[in-house]
Amino acid sequence: MDVKYVNPFIVGMQNIFNMLNMTSIQRTGLAKREKLKTDNEVNIIIGLVGDLKGNVVISLPDSTARNIASTMMGGMPVPELDMMPKSALCELTNMVAGSSMSQLEQMGVAVNITPPMLINGRNMMTMISQVETLVISFNCNEGKLEMNIATE
C-alpha cells in the first residue's frame, strides 16, 4: 500500500472524532499487522471499491465501544452494546470512511464504499484481506481503538 494513502484515513478519523466532540483523539502508533488474533470484541468493517480496493476495519474493545456510543448519544449511559449503540458505531464508521474518501478524492483517487457492518464476538481471529494490513492505533478519553487498513 502506498504511504501517501494512509494520511487521508488518519485525517478522516480525527475530523469525525473532533466533530463529535471527542477532541482528545490522538494517534499513538502505526504498524504492520503481524497476527490474526485480536483482543478487540467489536469490529466495524467497510469495503472499498474503485481506485483503491480493500477493506477498512475500526476495531475496539467493548468498553471503548460503549463509551464512544455514550458520547455520541449525549452522555446517555450504555451498559450493554444493543441495537442503538451498534447503529451509532456503524454511523461513526460510515462518517469516518466518508470523510477519508473525500480526502482521497482531493488527491484524484475515486473510491466507492460499502455500507458498514458491525461484527462482535469473543476470541476472534480476523483476516481483513490477503494483503498486508496496516494498523493505526488511536487513544482518546473514551479508550483505545485502532483502524486496520488493507488495500490491494
Least Å distance, CB 2 to other proteins, is 17
Which residues have a Cβ under 8 Å from the Cβ of 41 and sit 6 or more positions away? 61, 62, 65, 120, 121, 122, 124
Q: Which is nearer to other proteins, 32 or 122 (CB)?
A: 122
Q: Of 61, 121, 117, which is closest to residue 87 (Cα–Cα)?
A: 117
Report, in Å, the least distance between residue 91 CB and other proteins: 7
- Kindly tell me which of 10 and 113 has the beta carbon lying closer to other proteins: 113
Q: How far is the CB of 51 from other proteins (least distance, A)?
A: 12
- Residues 113 and 122 sit within 8 Å (Cβ to Cβ): no
Can you tell me which residue has the cell 483505545? 144
C-alpha triplet 17, 96, 91: angle, nearest 5°: 90
Nearer Cβ to other proteins (47/143): 47
Query: In the complex, which residues of this chain contact other proteins (CB under 8 A)?
Result: 36-37, 43, 45-49, 53-55, 57, 83, 86-87, 90-91, 112-131, 150, 152
As measured in angstroms, the least distance from the Cβ of 26 to other proteins is 27
The span from the CA of 152 to the CA of 29, in Å, is 22
- Select 3 or 125, whichever has its Cβ closest to other proteins: 125
Amino acid at 91: E
